[in-house]
Amino acid sequence: MKRNLIISALCLLAVVSCKQTVPASVPATIEDGVIVLETPAREPGQTSALGLTCDPIETVRVGFVGVGGRGSSAVRRYTFLDGVEIKAICDLEQSKVDKNIATCTDKGLPAPAAYVGEDSYKQLCERDDIDLVYICTDWLSHVPVAVYAMEHGKHVAIEVPAATTIDECWQLVNTSEKTRRHCMMLENCCYDFFEMASLGMAKAGLFGEVYHVEGAYIHHLSDGWDSSECWRLDFNMANRGDNYPTHGLGPICQVLDIHRGDRMDYLIAMDTPSYNGKVAAKRFRNSDECLDGDHTISLIKTEKQKVIEVQHNVYAYRPYSRMYQLTGDRGFANKYPCEQISIKEFNGHDAVSAAIGDSLKATYLPAFVNEIQDKAREVGGHGGMDYIMDYRLIYCLHNGLPLDEDVYDAAEWSCICELSRISLDNGSMPVKVPDFTRGDWNKTQGFNYALAK
């Protein structure tokens, strides 16, 4: 027994001491017990896109690719935005294209051009009268469409997650850096009211040094696997890990200034067996296999020794939650299951009263949100945060400003999909998070909303 343990330990040391390739979408080795992924070098003429600005666009001309549920909602919201023209609609199905053209013409707007078919997005991207390609396709199509659009001079906005592999993340980063086109992942949860107000409080120092943050996507989806989410079930059946990390991760990364003074260093993931996932696979696909565990937890350590916890569960019979929790040395904020704010100077460790909480949220909500929040709530989109997200994107393009969510955010938040998979497949081994900025993660100090002067 002891001899077997010694042999096992020696074998482990041998694996750790020599650099071995770990299955991943980019080359990887094991160094000092940590899986390290290769960072590709920039090509000649390729430069950082940190703080990328482009010429102001007076009227942003938009083409939509993928107009199912989310895409249709986006088209409708864009009919309420000033300084926008919807020039083209693209989808695999003619009926969806027709429906969204009608959304425009019913508002008295010109009929957008129609593109139908698997490769028709290329024709849309090749037009010379489109500035922004707004992508709401299935996950596996995000990167091919985005890369083609940027290569044809278009800015892109991509639904979440922007990519599902490390290789795809690098494709987005490299293409944005080469073409000098914006690449924004449409992480709407960064624009929810509580998240924005809490971010403002954190930046003002009300929580002191924020050292532990939590985010999640816990949302029972299996009742809808047979409808518009069918491709999502297929993906989960074939892929283990946190396949949908960005709703929980995005807002807390902004609080921690990820690639704006700190960076995610390494990740460790754990998951449960697949219980309800296999039930869904059997019911909707007549399959006994589902690689995605019902509940996945990823722990991430940052360069500054902060701790990020991200959870994923789309199978459990439990209430919806994105967790969103901030813990600092002088305060605390929590969104689920109920909003709580605790600040040492106010109430010690107890939550402040509802009246004080409401006052704090109103005070620290960004000024631009106060100006548009009534319209945002009226137009809607997850309570208004979708409209605020779209408003900010168009505002930045109008004014030639850096985007709130840049291509490095898209890569960092999306890469958790494959990083968690690699960790799980290697016994919850630590995995280094790629530095998509290639060493520039601390050249910008602090997240902030760019505003026109």
Q: Output Rg (C-alpha) for the chain, integer angstroms.
A: 22
Tell me the per-residue pLDDT of 322-370, one tens digit each, with 9 for 90 and over.
999 999 999 999 999 999 999 999 888 899 999 999 999 999 999 999 9
Mean pLDDT of the chain: 94
What pLDDT is attached to residue 241?
A: 98
Tell me the per-residue pLDDT of 12-34, one tens digit each, with 9 for 90 and over.
433 443 445 588 999 999 999 99
Which parts of 297-438 fold into alpha helices (H)? 344-347, 354-364, 367-379, 385-399, 407-414, 416-425
Q: What are phi and psi of 75, to 5 degrees?
A: -60, -45
Quick one: DSSP state of residue 437? T
Tell me the per-residue pLDDT of 75-124, one tens digit each, with 9 for 90 and over.
999 999 999 999 999 999 999 999 999 999 999 999 999 999 999 999 99
Letter for the amino acid at 70?
Answer: R
Tell me the sheet residues that pair with 331: 343
CA–CA gap between residue 138 and residue 237 (Å, rounded): 15
What pLDDT is attached to residue 228?
A: 55
CA–CA gap between residue 262 and residue 252 (Å, rounded): 12
Q: What is the mean pLDDT of residues 255-284?
A: 97
Residue 442 burial (10 A CB sphere; 0-12, 13-18, 19+) = middle
CA–CA gap between residue 89 and residue 299 (Å, rounded): 40
373 to each of 77, 200, 233, 450, 451, how far by Cα in Å? 14, 16, 35, 18, 17
| Pairing outcome for strands 84-91 and 60-65 | parallel
For the segment(s) 189-368+408-432, the CATH number from 3.90.550.10, 3.40.718.10, 3.40.50.150, 3.30.360.10 is: 3.30.360.10
Q: Phi-psi bin for 66: left (phi > 0), alpha (psi -120 to 50), beta? A: left
Residue 7 pLDDT greater than 50, yes or no? no
pLDDT band at 132 (very low <50, low <70, confident <90, very high): very high
Tell me the per-residue pLDDT of 138-191, one tens digit each, with 9 for 90 and over.
999 999 999 999 999 999 999 999 999 999 999 999 999 999 999 999 999 999
Q: What is the mean pLDDT of residues 386-393?
A: 98
Instruction: Tell me if 288 sits within 8 A of 241, measured CB to CB.
Output: no
Map out the domains of the chain as residue ranges: 60-186, 189-368+408-432
What pLDDT is attached to residue 224?
A: 77
CA–CA gap between residue 412 and residue 432 (Å, rounded): 12
Q: What is the mean pLDDT of residues 4-8?
A: 37
Topology classification of domain 60-186:
Rossmann fold (3.40.50)
Give the 3-state secondary structure of residue 145.
helix
Instruction: Tell me if 234 sits within 8 A of 138, measured CB to CB.
Output: no
Q: Which of 426, 424, 405, 404 is nearest to 416 (CA)?
A: 424
**Could you tell me the pTM of the whole model?**
0.95
Residue 22 burial (10 A CB sphere; 0-12, 13-18, 19+) = middle
Tokens encoding 290: 């589902």
Continuous segment of H or E residues that includes residue 35: strand 34-37
Tell me the per-residue pLDDT of 210-258, one tens digit each, with 9 for 90 and over.
999 999 999 999 777 876 558 999 999 999 999 999 999 999 999 999 9
Whether residue 161 is preceded by a cis peptide bond, meaning omega within 30 degrees of 0, is yes
